[in-house]
Copies of this chain bind each other. A is one copy, B any other.
């Protein structure tokens, strides 16, 4: 649920007049994304999504995200294409916020991904990595290993409110990952947040990848590890080997993994689990009064982290020697 900024009809009509999209026909706040305000927009030219960027997205990063979507869309990745206004700019301003209009993508999120969905995701993720390989801009991943300890330190003292033993577990895991984090893996643009909410399907075919606002330059295999965590566990947070194998096999058919990537995979999976454990933990403790968003439970990612800690090597995930 995410409509933070309300847009009135007069502002919107004036904004739309700077585009070549015909008259305003309809605009409805939609429950999509958690970082921004999103609207379904219908104009004389068709259907679009209007996004207003809220404070959590740094305005200086917006050109990276918008150029990336344009770059990927031009290479056949089914992602939203930013629409340029009459001055040739994708980024505008509406209701005091940076704002863009992007193309509307049909498709719907899958609540219970099956093996076929995981396979489709693996193939699309590999295609995204290949399509982004010649993208010239770079963006540091602020939520990688260097960022985790400072993030946890902002509220480490309250860890026992969430789970018994959590503080010691996270401290030990940070020690482990800081010592063992792989540094020289093949890298480039990654999505970094490709959860089921951000992937649209029509049947078993992927029709859209959305929400590129965590995209950054990092190891490709780390993106794969994020997807494994998000897609290949059941509702009780138990790893599903057939889904994991489908994801990884489909990925490797399009972008083969190096032996270094395979060797590092359990560490990457632990890191990916810790990253979402920590951000959910911080959000959980910092729900603002009157918030219209319910935070997600960090303990889901604690369970996933524990699973990966028990993995001796990448064979657990169906890859490696």
Contacts and interface: CB of A to CB of B under 8 A. Distances in A.
Nearest to A208: B26
Nearest to A28: B30
Contacts of A28: 30-32, 40
A104 B202 CA distance: 22
A24 interface: yes
Given A8-B111, A9-B111, A30 B31 contact: yes
Most B Cβ at <10 Å: residue of A10, A108, A290, A292: A108
A107 interface: yes
Given A1-B1, A290-B294, A292-B292, A26 B106 contact: yes
A270 interface: no
Interface residues of A, number: 34
A108 B202 contact: no
A25 B106 contact: yes
B40 A9 contact: no
20 contacts: A1-B29, A3-B31, A9-B109, A9-B110, A9-B111, A9-B201, A10-B112, A12-B108, A23-B202, A24-B108, A25-B106, A25-B202, A26-B104, A26-B106, A27-B108, A28-B30, A28-B32, A29-B30, A40-B40, A290-B294
Given A1-B292, A8-B112, A29-B32, 18 more contacts: A3-B31, A8-B111, A9-B111, A9-B201, A10-B111, A10-B112, A12-B108, A24-B108, A25-B106, A25-B107, A26-B105, A26-B107, A27-B108, A30-B40, A31-B31, A40-B40, A290-B294, A292-B294
